[in-house]
Structure 1
Amino acid sequence: MKRHLLPLLLLATAAFQTARSQGILHTKGQQIVDARGNNVLFRGIGLGGWMLQEGYMLHLNQEGQQHKIRERIGKLLTPEQTQEFYDTWLAHNTTKADIDSLKAWGFNQVRLPMHFALYTLPSDKEPVPGQNTWLEKGFAMTDSLVAWCKANHLYLILDLHAAPGGQGNDLNISDRDGSKPSLWQNEADQEKTVALWKQLATRYAHEATVAGYDVLNEPNWGFDDQEKDRNGTGEKHNGPLKALLVKITAAIRSVDKEHIIIIEGNGWGNNYNGMLEDGLWDKNMVLSFHKYWNNNDTASISHILRYRRNLNVPVWLGETGENSNTWFTDAISLFEANNIGWSWWPLKKLGINNPLQVPSNKGYDALVDYWNGKSTTAPDAAAAYQSLMELARASDIRHNIVHYDVIDAMIRQPHSNKAIPFKAHVAHAGAVINAADYDLGRNGVAYFDKDTGNYRISGHPGVGNRGGVYRNDGVDIFQDAEKDYYVGHTEEGEWIQYTITVPATREYTLQTLVRGEGRFQWTENGKALTEPAEATGTAFTPSTAKVKLGKGMHQLRFQVLKGGVEFAGVKF
């Protein structure tokens, strides 16, 4: 089978897009509105992994801070080669083609996770202590992104993801060096953070494409008790966090009176204890929250709805994702029913649960095994250089694997209970439908699976696709030694549906390729199309049945009557 998914025609319609009107966005009561007063609902995505790599995005299990990753690369490559890798990564990971694609798919907003080190030197490396050296690299990259978003009428939100010194004990997300003082322990880093935002606000004060400033991503620091509450989830006061956010706000407002300022609470964005008792300190502010791995019900967002109601302020889901398509669809349905805009995380990485997948290579896989301790054989320096450069070039959208099932789950499925074809299946002699090419749609509409996602925060851990390849639904898809896909880990009552065009009424012989232990049959409109059949053995073997199909469109279902059957495909 091919690794890449084929393009779909029904990814987005005008009904799912919010056009950008002229003028800088602002708040009005509990809404974000454009210059004409129209409600603006963000449907966005974050560019995680571009300016700031996190280890899990590269399949690294330990020491996932970007500077640690760079150190490991530097032990194998020369300094010049290491710099070449990062220059190539930055040049390819996000391009205008990515932004063009987001527009075509139906998104209307982009969130840029910024690494401060692309804009200024670390405070302990400034030639003159207390002064700020400004680096053109980060500003030039941001200028390019603004231009690409403007060309596509997409909003851009600037997000300080890695602040000077690092804003918490979750080291990876801010590339923090845990051996040095954090942002909260170093006044010089706080001053540099304030100065950076003033510099950015000066540069984009009159740019309507920029929707707002997300001033500090996911603070996670226990100010009251570092020993027992390292990430600040139980923090009751948050005094230092509020003080810094107020200072940043004042610096921005000294040069930019118009743009929305977005703040995040402690404990990865959700703990606002002690911060808002005296109300908001700016008239054009939005509260952000982040949401991962919990139930998609009103209770899960009740805290942010309460703040919105009590403070009469807009709220925005600034970051979420890293789950299954079912979780995505349900979450977006919840947000939009409550007029909450959203920004997914991330656009691309190594892995299937995002719109774009960066393909790995054998050399890089061997490198990962070595770094993760699965292999004790150090890679050859020349081979490591070649595989890392191949990975950097593969981060370009031209070489990415496009997961249209993820896009469909985010853009179409929250507004539709209809299944649509994943691929064009036509019944003719010799036609083969691969098991993994079932319809696009919600769980219970295009397929039914009993394990649809990860809800571990709510006490219900799950996996979704246990095979972790090809698609991101609950259906468990695996890959065999020949790199072909098949459906496995089936349970009684599960089913998958295929929309098939039958060009002429006739009798067909279906050869269903199955193995394992279990029982199945084909159904249509709730009625048996074939007799129940057994799957046995360790090799895929055709199970034959004759069916009569009339001319037209059919939705056939592979129904699991007894779990344990593995299914590779069906041939007409």
Structure 2
Amino acid sequence: MTGTLNVNGFLKAKGTKLVNGAGEEVFLRGINLGNWFLPEAYMWKVPHSLGKHHIMEKVFSELLGEEKANKFWETYFNTYTMESDIKKIKEEGFNSIRLPLNYRVFMNNDRVFDENHIKIIDRTLDWCEKYGIYCILDLHGAPGGQTGTNIDDSLNNYPDLFADNENVELTVFFWKSLAERYKDRTIIGGYDLLNEPVPKEHKQYHDKLIDVYKKIIKAIREVDNNHLIILECSNWATDFRIFTEKHDDNMVIQFHKYWCPIDYRFVRDYLNIRETLNLPLWMGESGENTLDWYQGSFQMLEDYNISWCFWPWKKLAAKNNPCSIKVPEGWDKLGNHAKGDIQLSADEAESILNELLENIKFENCEYNQEVLNALFRRAPFRIQAEYYQLHGVGQSYYFRDKVATNVNFRREEGLNVKFICGKDDELPQFDSDPSNHMPENERLYISLQAGDWVKYEVNATEDQFIDLSAHIAAETMDAVIELWLNSEVNLTGSAVIENGWHIQTLTEKALLPAGIHELKLIVRNGIVKVDYFDIK
């Protein structure tokens, strides 16, 4: 990572970098406030029969009556994210949020805005200013829908944004109105025009997507020349090939990254388009995985100087994001009612939903600190041995002999990497059930010989004393390693590694000062196999 985390004036694109109003290069570390203005079924832990926001609204109105259902949604929108959330986000080290919007929460199809709902955005921006956090506005649910799936609240399961010009005009009007309102708000980092547009099954709309982008940009620039324009790749924000030119002098290309190997090849194309078009990249969504994957994936993004935004801040009953909303008593009954399996009474439905309104408050959530520690490589956390830094040979790693194993992972570096369980697959399954760590049958280990070394990033928010152990094994009888902090302090001395897989304590109560550090593993003698390090 290069660049400051400081929030100071309008964000601008300057070549491949982002800079703030003072001309300082900025690196964005952000988090998505998903599930707020566009609830999604999987984050509510409800079945597909409640899979879209408008379906939830319909079912809740039928259960509670329109007046009480409207009151529920008003309370939900006003409570889901509060100042305490923004304050905590800042304290954890983030300098930006992405705010997903469903257009119809803020504007009806007669182009009339709901001022009460717009004021929730205003209030959020005020909190962002107070704590120094850029806010990126993201149109997650466009008129007609840009994906045709549950994530955009589309009515017809089709990307009707591109099939009906009236939807295009509504979208253009929506963005121009927001730009007119917020043109002087420096705390807004940029306008993310469409979330994950045009899945590959609707690739006939690729050209139409670019046309829509151009129309929105033209309308925004009629009232606002200050803010960054953010354009997402097609096909769930993964296919960069729609971009062959810059569409604005102040724009960023955004991609999303889920469930894929943490390997140069999986960001190479984005890095190439960054250099070809000479503009910045932003990874606007990634998450929904294990702590191990977070540690490696977000390290790789920072190594390649790609600003990032984690998904999401909050969802129901979750271990793999920061805030876990407690499940209200009787919650499953809502889904069973929607499926037609039971008939839920109005009083019981009201009780369940009222409990949800209490549980969504930050102070009532269960907080998963280990998720933040993995994202920021911050002690205490686990380091998977194969996720060393990627600044290049001689800077982040050195292997005396380049090895090509059957595992198709980090082959460019010549890493000797294999499955712990001994299987001969090409790659692990990175979409495994989200839990704390990768299951043993999907874990990799690295084999290093005398003279090899690798570096890892380790951070601390304050001075602390750490214990460091490893899941490790010697391949030869004389295996010796050393672990160095910033190439200055030998934490372990010459540690003799025992045979067979085992947890070996390498150092106890070693001082880790506040700050950003490098942990360097050097093999002095023999051959060792390393699965992971635990820093506690």
Identity, % of aligned pairs?
31
Shift of 1:357: 0.7
Shift of 1:320: 1.1
Question: Is residue 2:218 matched to residue 1:250?
Answer: yes
CA RMSD of aligned residues (A): 3.4
Question: Is residue 2:292 matched to residue 1:326?
Answer: yes
Residue in 2 that maps onto 1:353: 320
User: Distance in 1 between the 2:430 and 2:7 partners?
Assistant: 39
Counterparts in 2 of 1:181 and 1:211: CA distance versus 1, 3 Å: closer
User: Distance in 1 between the 2:57 and 2:274 partners?
Assistant: 41
Tell me which amino acid in the other structure corresponds to 1:327: W
Question: Is residue 2:368 matched to residue 1:403?
Answer: yes
Partner residue of 2:11 out of 15, 25, 35:
25
Tell me which amino acid in the other structure corresponds to 1:151: K
Asked if the contact 1:197–1:248 (Cα under 8 Å) also holds between the matched residues in 2, the reply is yes
User: Distance in 2 between the 1:200 and 1:41 partners?
Assistant: 25
Tell me which amino acid in the other structure corresponds to 1:398: E
Asked if the contact 1:349–1:357 (Cα under 8 Å) also holds between the matched residues in 2, the reply is yes
Alignment of structure 1 residues 204-353 onto 2, 5 Å: 204-221=182-199, 229-230=201-202, 232=203, 238-273=206-241, 275-277=242-244, 279-350=245-316, 351-353=318-320
User: Distance in 2 between the 1:490 and 1:281 partners?
Assistant: 42
User: Distance in 2 between the 1:457 and 1:406 partners?
Assistant: 28
Counterparts in 2 of 1:457 and 1:74: CA distance versus 1, 3 Å: farther
- Structure 1 unpaired stretches of 5+: 1-14, 127-131, 223-228, 414-418, 421-439, 477-488, 502-524, 533-548, 555-572
Question: Is residue 2:80 matched to residue 1:93?
Answer: yes
SS of structure 2 residue aligned to 1:216: coil
Tell me which amino acid in the other structure corresponds to 1:463: S
Question: Is residue 2:123 matched to residue 1:144?
Answer: yes
Shift of 1:348: 0.4
Counterparts in 2 of 1:392 and 1:20: CA distance versus 1, 3 Å: same
Shift of 1:18: 0.8
SS of structure 1 residue aligned to 2:382: coil
Shift of 1:313: 0.8
Asked if the contact 2:259–2:431 (Cα under 8 Å) also holds between the matched residues in 1, the reply is no
Residue in 1 that maps onto 2:165: 187
Asked if the contact 1:160–1:214 (Cα under 8 Å) also holds between the matched residues in 2, the reply is yes
Shift of 1:281: 2.1
Counterparts in 2 of 1:451 and 1:398: CA distance versus 1, 3 Å: farther
SS of structure 2 residue aligned to 1:442: strand
SS of structure 1 residue aligned to 2:25: coil
Shift of 1:500: 8.2
CA deviations over 1:39-76 (Å, ceiling 9, x no partner):
11100011101111011011123141111122222332
Partner residue of 1:198 out of 168, 176, 183:
176
CA deviations over 1:120-167 (Å, ceiling 9, x no partner):
103xxx3xxxxx212213321111111000001111101011101111
Tell me which amino acid in the other structure corresponds to 1:115: N
Residue in 2 that maps onto 1:51: 37
SS of structure 2 residue aligned to 1:185: coil
Counterparts in 2 of 1:49 and 1:462: CA distance versus 1, 3 Å: closer
Counterparts in 2 of 1:459 and 1:178: CA distance versus 1, 3 Å: farther
User: Distance in 1 between the 2:346 and 2:59 partners?
Assistant: 12
SS of structure 1 residue aligned to 2:286: strand
Tell me which amino acid in the other structure corresponds to 1:367: L
Partner residue of 1:367 out of 330, 334, 337:
334
Shift of 1:459: 6.8
Counterparts in 2 of 1:180 and 1:268: CA distance versus 1, 3 Å: closer
Residue in 1 that maps onto 2:515: none
User: Distance in 2 between the 1:457 and 1:198 partners?
Assistant: 48
CA deviations over 1:464-483 (Å, ceiling 9, x no partner):
55xx5xxx33479xxxxxxx
Counterparts in 2 of 1:359 and 1:238: CA distance versus 1, 3 Å: same
Counterparts in 2 of 1:263 and 1:403: CA distance versus 1, 3 Å: same
Asked if the contact 1:464–1:473 (Cα under 8 Å) also holds between the matched residues in 2, the reply is no
Counterparts in 2 of 1:121 and 1:526: CA distance versus 1, 3 Å: farther
User: Distance in 1 between the 2:338 and 2:384 partners?
Assistant: 38
Shift of 1:87: 1.5
User: Distance in 1 between the 2:420 and 2:36 partners?
Assistant: 32
Asked if the contact 2:336–2:342 (Cα under 8 Å) also holds between the matched residues in 1, the reply is no
SS of structure 2 residue aligned to 1:299: helix
Moved more, 74-83 or 253-262: 74-83
User: Distance in 2 between the 1:17 and 1:37 partners?
Assistant: 11
Shift of 1:490: 13
Residue in 2 that maps onto 1:81: 68
Tell me which amino acid in the other structure corresponds to 1:202: E
Residue in 2 that maps onto 1:463: 432
User: Distance in 2 between the 1:196 and 1:460 partners?
Assistant: 41
Shift of 1:89: 1.1
Residue in 2 that maps onto 1:473: 437
User: Distance in 1 between the 2:48 and 2:31 partners?
Assistant: 26
Structure 2 length as normaliser, TM-score?
0.72
User: Distance in 1 between the 2:420 and 2:283 partners?
Assistant: 25
Number of residue pairs aligned between Structure 1 and Structure 2: 424
Counterparts in 2 of 1:349 and 1:271: CA distance versus 1, 3 Å: same
Residue in 2 that maps onto 1:507: none
CA deviations over 1:527-548 (Å, ceiling 9, x no partner):
89xxx9xxxxxxxxxxxxxxxx
User: Distance in 2 between the 1:451 and 1:382 partners?
Assistant: 54
SS of structure 2 residue aligned to 1:48: coil
Asked if the contact 1:108–1:153 (Cα under 8 Å) also holds between the matched residues in 2, the reply is yes
Shift of 1:368: 3.3
Tell me which amino acid in the other structure corresponds to 2:356: L
Counterparts in 2 of 1:458 and 1:159: CA distance versus 1, 3 Å: farther
Counterparts in 2 of 1:330 and 1:461: CA distance versus 1, 3 Å: closer
Partner residue of 1:102 out of 73, 89, 97:
89
Asked if the contact 1:290–1:318 (Cα under 8 Å) also holds between the matched residues in 2, the reply is yes
Residue in 2 that maps onto 1:434: none
Question: Is residue 2:339 matched to residue 1:380?
Answer: no
Partner residue of 1:160 out of 139, 161, 178:
139
User: Distance in 2 between the 1:259 and 1:335 partners?
Assistant: 24
Counterparts in 2 of 1:191 and 1:444: CA distance versus 1, 3 Å: same
Shift of 1:108: 0.5
Tell me which amino acid in the other structure corresponds to 1:442: I
User: Distance in 1 between the 2:188 and 2:420 partners?
Assistant: 40
Counterparts in 2 of 1:323 and 1:526: CA distance versus 1, 3 Å: farther
Structure 1 length as normaliser, TM-score?
0.68
Counterparts in 2 of 1:460 and 1:19: CA distance versus 1, 3 Å: same
Asked if the contact 2:147–2:158 (Cα under 8 Å) also holds between the matched residues in 1, the reply is no
CA deviations over 1:440-474 (Å, ceiling 9, x no partner):
332469xxxx899xxx9977255355xx5xxx334
Residue in 1 that maps onto 2:377: 412
Tell me which amino acid in the other structure corresponds to 1:19: N
Shift of 1:24: 1.0
User: Distance in 2 between the 1:294 and 1:180 partners?
Assistant: 27
Asked if the contact 1:60–1:372 (Cα under 8 Å) also holds between the matched residues in 2, the reply is no
